[in-house]
Structure 1
Amino acid sequence: MKFDRLLSIVLLLQHRDLVPARELAERLEVSPRTIYRDVEALSAAGVPVYAERGKHGGVGLLAGFRTDVTGLTTDEARALFVLASRSAHSALGLDRALSSALRKVMAALPAPHRPAAELTSRRILVDPDRWMAPSRAEPDLAALHTAVLADRRLRIRYRHSGSTKLAGYTVDPYGLVAKAGVWYLVADHRGRPRLFRADRMPGVTVTAAEVRRREGVELQEVWDDLRRSVEARNDEVRVSVRVVADRLDMFTRIAGGYFTGTPVAGDDGWARVELAYPVLGAVRHLLQFGPDAEVMEPPEARAEMARAAAEISARYT
C-alpha cells in the first residue's frame, strides 16, 4: 500500500543522513523510479525530504524532523482501530501479528486518545463477506502470501471457471487482493495483466527466476485496470426485470451484485430493475424469485427463462 510505503520511507530516513534510492527500493520491494515519485509525494505533503543525485547521493530528511504516533489526533487514532474482518489477516497467517501490532500502537498513543481508540475497536466491525455467501474451498493463502513476497516468478496450476481440468502458467506476481470475501492473485502472464482466483489454485511453486514486472507499475494500478475491464465488459447481457415492490429488499440482497443502476419504484406495486449478466444462461439465476420477479427485456432473456421453466416443469411432471 502506498501510504504504508511512504511512512516506511520516513521512518527509515530518520535514522540515517542519506539512503541510496536503490537501497530504499530493495527494502520496500519497488523500483528506484517509484521511490523518487514517493519523495515528490512526501515533499508535496509538507515532509522536508530531499534527493541528491550522483554516486554518493541518496534520499534524506532535513535535520531535526521526527514523526511518531504521539502526533496522532483522536480521529486518526480511532481510524487505526476500525478493522476489517480479522478473517483476512487470519487467512494470511497474520492474525496474531495484527493483535500484537495493535497492542503496541495502543501503548504508544497519548493517554487522552486511548479510551476513544479502545472503544472504537469494540463498537465498530467491518465484515466484507456477502450475506449467505456459498461455502467454497479455502485456499492456502499463507503459502501464497509467502510466494508473492519472494520476488520470484511463480508457477501455478489453475482451474478456470466451468472447467475440471488444471492449466499451468508461469506468472510475475504483483500481489494479492481481497474483493468481497474472495482472494485473487494479480500477476502478469507473458507481459499482460491477469486475475487468478486463489480458491481455484491448488498448486503454487516459487521458481528461481527473478520476477519480471513492468517497470514502475504497482499492484494498485494493475488491480484498478483489471477491475475496470471486468466491470466494463461489452459482451454482457443487459436485462430489465420487474420485481414485486414488497420483495425488492430481498431481491437487492441476493441479486444486487448484478445491478447496473438504482431500482425505480412504480405506482402499480412493482419496481423496475436493470441488471447485467455475463452470459445469457445466467439469467436463470432469477428463477429463485418465482412469480415475484419477471424478466421484461430482452426477448431472448424471456425465452431463456421460459425454456428453464419448461425444463423444470418437465422434471417434476
Structure 2
Amino acid sequence: MKSDRLLSILLLLQTRGQVPAAELAERLKVSVRTVMRDVEALSAAGVPVYTIRGPHGGIALLPGYRTDVTGLTADEARSLFVLLSDDAHADLGLGQAFGSALRKLMAALPAPHRPEADLASRRVLIDPARWRGGHTATPVPDLSLLQQAVFTDRRLRLRYRHGRDSRARSYTLDPYGLVNKVGAWYLVADHRGTPALFRVDRVQSAGILDEPVQRREGLELADVWELLRRRIEDIPTPLHVTVEIPRRLLGKFLRIHQTDLAGPPPADAPGTGDHPDRVRVDLAFPSLTAAEVLLGFAPDVEVMTPPELRRALAHRATQAASLYATSSGGR
C-alpha cells in the first residue's frame, strides 16, 4: 500500500539521513520512478524532504526534522527487540513481514534508544518450540549478572553443575547471549573457541571479568544457538521408560537417576492401584543398553514399559543367575 511505503521512506530517511533513490527502491521493491512520486507526495503533505543531484546525491530530510511515531521508552524499545527465533515467524509465513516490521520500528525509535534496541536483538532470543524429547520445568533463575555480561560484552567466569553427573566445574566463557527455550533459560557461549550451552538454573556462581569478550568473527547469537539446538535435537529419539518404585526407595532412586527423569520429580505422587506404597516414575534413556542400569535396583524396582526393556532385563537377570548359580567363584 502507498501509505506503508510513505511511512517506510520517512522512517528510513529519519534513520539514515540521506539515502540514494535506487537504494530506497530496492528496499521497498518498487521502481525509482515510484520512489520519486512518493517523495513528491511527502513534500505535498508538508514533510520537508528534498533531493540532492549528482553521483553522491540522494533523498534527505531537512536537518533537525523528525517525527516520533512510537513514544516508546528505552526499556519498551529494548523489550520489542528481544527476538523470537526465525523459525517461529517462518512457520506462520511472517518471516519477511517480521523483518520489515523491525526495520520500521528501529527507524521510528528516538536515536538514543536505537543502540540498546539493536543490542537486545542480538543478545537475547526466545525460542518457543519445545525440545523434541519434552521439557522439564525449571525455576526462574536470577539473570541480572549474566545479562550484564551479555550486554556489556565482557567475559564470564562460571561455576557450573552438570546434569549428567552432578559435578561442578569452572569455565571462562565468551558469551553470545541468553536464550529462553519454553521457559528454561540458557547461556550460549564459547569455551576456548568451542560453542557450548549452559542451563542457567545450574549455574552455582558467576563473575564478570574485566576482559572484553572474544567471540568468533562473523557469528551472532542466533547462528550459534541454531548449531547447538540442532546438535541436541539430532540425538536419536530417547527410550521412554516407566518404572514402579517402593515409596521408601524413591529418594535414593531420584538421587541416582535425577538426570534421567522425563518430567518433574514425583515427590508427592499417589500410589499405584492396589499398592499405595509404590509410585510410578517416567524416565528417558539414550538407548536400551543404557536403560539396563535399572537392573541394579532389582528386585525392588520394576520396569513397566517398554516391553523390550523388560525382556532385556529378564535376559540379563538370567545370565547373572547362571553366573552365580555355583557356590564358589571361578569357572
Per the shorter chain, which TM-score range?
0.3 to 0.5
Asked which structure has the greater CA Rg, the reply is 2
Q: Give TM-score scaled by structure 1 length.
A: 0.42
Q: Give TM-score scaled by structure 2 length.
A: 0.40
